[in-house]
């Protein structure tokens, strides 16, 4: 199969593909599920780029047990900060230092600068296999006056069909104290099909402020996305106040809580009480291992002794929605990264010891991220849906967690979008540059 035949949408029938059983819908399972949750299936790609479970002629490709996953959902990123680390440098300390460096660089955030950096980020995410992303945009001014808001709104339209973008207007909790201004901000966020974002600094949450946030959000029918308890101080328990406010105000739209690091350091009696409320209210928790491991317990010349991770195992055991996101890429909050969700998951596996039940965690990653953000049709492989998938040159999770990031072939609507590794080129007889 050469690149020209792909453009002509050749019928292809893949056999001996290994996919997470929890993410495959409508395909005949050709072998019993393995202990890792992977099942062996065959699937086809129709000329119009849809997945099918029925062989319809065309060329047969034996994947030889290679792993196939849906395209990625990245539920928490900051496109407006991407790639500024070469200007800001690396923080000596933790989160406050990173915030200071980022704010100091904001004078450089012209529309041209933002468009260049955001476009690069979207290109990297797309080529690694992302099909849906939620980005936070710092909102110091009204959305209508924000260069970053204008640029990301334009890019959302330009990238439609390649990456589905959601935009969060991220503001400090104290903004809600200016009721008239906050109402107008919410109106503009709604007009732009955005999401209300709230950053809660430790010690700043009160019942009155949170109740007001949810009243404004309910009035404008906005989902709410929090940055909360981004500290390893066990006394930081604003997440519980969020849950209590949801119950009081009877807020019934989606609520996402990112970071929640202190949940992993507080006494178990407090942790378990808060997790019970998370389950009760349906709050979706996003752990952000790269930035949190980089910033939490960080001090120049000192070895960190505590991990900046939320209580992911305990959340899962209680039935809560929990998954992982990229957060920051090449900025002072995390100076590395490449918008590759496989790398994010690998770091989570090592840092949070997910390896004992890695198959369930991987399936949860796709399902929970799509559900938390409301990305319909993403995070699964389903008969009749677009053939958006990633073929990895890996036979099991040991391979998948160890291989080079380049060892994959991304298909969108059944067509490859990036060069494949040598092994995959030979397997599929691809003639890609």
- Name the residues annotated as catalytic: 230
Contact call for residues 189 and 136 (beta carbons, < 8 A): no
User: What is the length of the chain?
Assistant: 433
Residue for token digits 């404004």?
216
Q: What's the rounded Cα separation, in Å, for the pair 271 and 274? A: 5
**DSSP H or E run through 400:** helix 397-400
Q: Distance between CA atoms of 382 and 220, rounded to whole angstroms? A: 34
CA distance 226 to 212: 14
CB of 311 within 8 A of CB of 263?
yes
| Closest by CA position to 132, among listed 171, 155, 166, 85 | 166
Burial of 422 (0-12, 13-18, 19+ CB in 10 A): exposed
Q: Give DSSP secondary structure letters for 18-40.
A: EEEGGGEESPPBSSPPPTTSEEE
Q: Which residues contact 343 (CB under 8 A, 6 or more apart)?
A: 337, 405
| Strand-pair partners of 72 | 130
What is d(CA 200, CA 178) in angstroms, rounded to the nearest whole number?
16
Structure-token pair, residue 242: 């969020």
Block residue for tokens 């709104």: 153
CB 227 within 8 A of CB 198: yes
Q: Is the dihedral of CA 375, 381, 385, 386 positive or negative?
A: positive
């Amino acid at each position: 199969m050469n690149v020209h035949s792909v453009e002509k949408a050749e019928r292809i029938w893949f056999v001996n593909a290994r996919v997470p059983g929890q993410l495959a819908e409508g395909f005949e399972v050709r072998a019993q599920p393995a202990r890792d949750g992977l099942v062996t299936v065959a699937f086809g790609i129709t000329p119009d780029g849809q997945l099918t479970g029925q062989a319809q002629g065309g060329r047969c490709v034996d994947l030889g047990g290679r792993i196939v996953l849906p395209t990625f959902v990245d539920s928490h990123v900051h496109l407006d900060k991407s790639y500024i680390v070469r200007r800001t440098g690396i923080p000596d300390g933790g989160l406050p230092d990173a915030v200071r460096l980022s704010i100091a660089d904001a004078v450089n955030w012209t529309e041209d600068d933002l468009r260049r950096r955001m476009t690069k980020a979207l290109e990297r995410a797309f080529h690694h296999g992302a099909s849906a992303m939620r980005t936070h945009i710092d909102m110091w001014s009204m959305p209508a006056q924000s260069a970053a808001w204008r640029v990301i709104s334009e890019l959302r339209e330009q990238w439609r069909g390649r990456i589905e973008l959601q935009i969060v207007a991220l503001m400090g909790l104290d903004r809600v104290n200016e009721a008239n201004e906050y109402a107008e901000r919410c109106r503009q966020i709604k007009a732009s099909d955005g999401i209300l974002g709230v950053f809660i600094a430790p010690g700043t949450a009160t019942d009155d402020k949170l109740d007001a946030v949810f009243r404004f959000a309910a009035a404008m029918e906005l989902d709410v996305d929090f940055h909360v308890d981004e500290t390893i101080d066990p006394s930081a328990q604003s997440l519980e106040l969020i849950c209590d406010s949801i119950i009081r105000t009877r807020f019934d739209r989606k609520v996402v809580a990112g970071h929640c690091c202190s949940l992993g350091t507080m006494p178990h009696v407090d942790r378990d009480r808060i997790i019970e409320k998370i389950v009760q209210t349906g709050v979706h928790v996003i752990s952000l291992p790269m930035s949190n491991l980089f910033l939490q317990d960080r001090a120049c010349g000192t070895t960190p002794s505590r991990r900046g991770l939320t209580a992911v195992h305990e959340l899962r055991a209680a039935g809560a929605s929990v998954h992982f996101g990229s957060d920051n890429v090449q900025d002072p909050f995390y100076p590395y990264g490449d918008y590759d969700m496989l790398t994010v998951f690998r770091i989570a596996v090592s840092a949070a010891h997910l390896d004992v039940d890695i198959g369930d965690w991987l399936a949860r990653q796709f399902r929970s991220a799509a559900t938390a953000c409301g990305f319909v049709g993403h995070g699964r492989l389903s008969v009749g849906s677009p053939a958006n998938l990633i073929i990895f040159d890996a036979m099991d999770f040991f391979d998948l967690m160890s291989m080079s990031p380049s060892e994959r072939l991304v298909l969108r609507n059944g067509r490859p979008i990036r060069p494949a590794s040598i092994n995959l080129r030979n397997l599929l007889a691809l003639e890609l540059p």
